[in-house]
Structure 1
Amino acid sequence: MKIVLTGSLGNIGKHLSAALTKKGHAVTVISSQAERAKDIEALGAIPAIGSMFDAEFLTRTFQGADIVYLMETMEAAGDMFDKSVDFIATISQIGHNYRQAVEQAGIKKVIHLSSIGAHLEKGNGILLFHHRVEGILHTLPADVAIKFMRPVGFYTNLYSFINSIKNTGAIISNYGGDKKEPWVHPLDIAATIAEEVDMPFEGRKIRYIASDEVSPNEIAAALGTAIGRPDLQWKVIPDEELLAKWLSIGFNKQVADGFIEMQASQGSGFLYDDYYRHQPVLGKVKLADFAKEFAAAFEQE
């Protein structure tokens, strides 16, 4: 099949591109960076260099595809320290461009990388943009089959704690404790999407993706052991204190507020209500596996 992937060769895209080309699919990878072309070709895929903010480019690139894979990231919208960016509105525009390109190119099969929390129109913090884009794609004609993939929190997001660990000796957040929550590795996300490519498309489908279910304290213990700091603690501070810290280092206020609300929703379990109603089979990459990757990254910084 001819498959077009957005998202370039990011944490998921590089694994997904490799998996699909290995299966014999003709894969085109969209990237905004011309220097990525050689890396895309090295995976056996075809590079398409352009912008997700260019609906005409997307339409041309989608033409003739059997399946398009759509994803949007905060990085595509701008720098999280740029106070002028409205991330929710900017990413929603990407959603509108996708919708236009899918309809004009006559695409009938779509896989959309969404997120945990996309079922919520409030209380999900910065994840609101996923809810908005899902809603935009739902307005496509009924004969367009869409698979909404909803991964949970990425293990790779834990890399953001490296500086905190090195500077304060602790992981610092506005929630924590012993309550388990789901996490996922990009490899398991890519494997799930590659599996869905070869499964029937019909109507609108939602599938959650997770690798393991562990508590903040279990994460601290696993990462601490892996980096040679077995006493590493996951420290909880009030929302207001964490928000003040983030704003003081220059975070965009919408982003800072959004992450505070999202993490509070993680701590209360509100973010996971729909996940537990549609709990998936867990993937292969467990916390212990990721802890080794974390230790390698920790040593390099």
Structure 2
Amino acid sequence: MKIVVTGSLGHISKPLTQALVQQGHLVTVISSNQARQAAIEDLGAKAAIGTMEDVDFLARTFKGADVVYLMETLAHNSFFDHSVDFVAGLSKIGENYRQAVEQSGVKQIIHLSSIGAHMAEGNGILRFHYNVEKSLNQLPADVHIKFMRPVGFYYNMFAFIPSIKAKGVIIANYGGHEQEPWVSTTDIAAVIAEEIEKPFSGRSVRYIASDEISPNEIAHTLGEAIGRNDVKWLEVSDEQSLNGMITAGMNPETAQGRRNGNERRSPWWGIVRRLLRQ
């Protein structure tokens, strides 16, 4: 099959591209970075250099594809850019995708969404996933879409490094012994590759998780791995969490959204647990 992968050589798109090439598919990888072209070609894929903001470029690249994998991203420093409306920016990319899919005539889509995408509010910055799903669902009925909704990413734990180094603690506005679902990006890529091989029909949702582990277990495991048995998970108030992110230079509006989206007591956590255990 001819497959288009968005997301350049990111944590999901790279292993996904590798898997699809190994399966014998003809893969085109979209990247905004010309310097990535050689690395994409080294994987056995074709590089299409352009941006998610360019609908015409997207439509041309999608045209003739059997399946397109869609994901939204902004520049890595977007959280700290006070001129960036994070939710609006990613939602606009989703609308660009909708237009490009319609113009290109592609009929099979896999979209990287998230837990919380079924909620219009109460899910912090994850709200953009709700917006994008809503936009893509406006496509004609003969466009078949699989929405992938992974839980929290393991690699987000890299954000814990500064506080572990400085104070031996992980600081968040949730904690304790209650287990929460987490996922590896390589597992997400494997699930997407699996879904590409399966028949497409209508609109469907699949939740993705690798494991369930409590915050206290995470602190113990990470501490043990680096030879520090004193690493603790410190639960702080929502207000302390918000102020810490703003002090670090994060866009206050984005910080508010991250604070809300990280709140483990949000209702979608319970929903996700039930879905994963069915």
- Shorter-chain TM-score category? over 0.9
CA distance in 1, matches of 2:74, 2:38: 25
Aligned partner of 1:274 in structure 2 is 271
Partner of 1:70: 70
Q: What residue is the counterpart of 2:85 in the other structure?
A: 86
How far apart are the structure 2 equivalents of 1:274 and 1:108? 30
- What does the per-residue CA deviation read over 1:118-167, in whole Å, with 9 as the maximum and x for residues that have no partner? 11111111111111101100100011000000010000000000001111
SS at match of 1:219: helix
Runs of 5+ in structure 2 lacking a partner? none
| SS of match in other structure, 1:245 | helix
Residue of structure 2 in register with 1:32 after alignment = 32
Amino acid at match of 2:175: G
Q: Distance in 1 between matches of 2:169 and 2:275?
A: 34
1: CA distance, partners of 2:233 / 2:194:
35
Count residues with an aligned counterpart. Answer: 278
- Compute the TM-score of the two structures, normalised by the length of structure 2: 0.97
Specify the SS of the correspondent of 1:75.
coil
Secondary structure of 2:78's counterpart equals coil
Counterpart position of 2:44: 44
Listed as ranges, the gaps of 5+ residues in structure 1 are: 282-301
Matches of 1:133 and 1:280 in 2, distance apart? 26
Structure 1 residues 146-191: Cα deviation after superposition (integer angstroms, max 9, x where no partner): 0000010000000000001111210001110011110000110000
Tell me the CA shift for residue 252 of structure 1.
0.5
Percent identity, aligned pairs only, is 57
Residues 1:60 and 2:57 are matched in the alignment: no
Q: Single out whichever of 63-72 and 251-260 deviates more from structure 2.
A: 251-260
Contact 1:207 1:280 in 2 (8 A): no
The residue matched to 1:179 in structure 2 has which SS?
coil
> Which residue pairs with 1:7 in the alignment?
7
CA distance in 2 between partners of 1:168 and 1:73 (Å): 32
TM-superposed CA distance for 1:249, in Å, is: 2.0
Secondary structure of residue in 1 paired with 2:145: strand
Structure 1 Cα separation of the partners of residues 145 and 245 of structure 2:
37
Could you tell me how far 1:246 is from its partner in structure 2?
1.3
Give me the whole-angstrom Cα distance separating, in 1, the residues matched to 2:33 and 2:271: 36
Displacement after TM superposition at 1:269 (Å): 5.1
CA root-mean-square deviation: 1.3
Aligned residue runs from structure 1 range 10-21, under 5 A: 10-21=10-21
Q: Which runs of 4+ in 1 moved over 4 A?
A: none
- Per the TM alignment, residue 74 of structure 1 is displaced from its structure 2 partner at its CA by 4.1
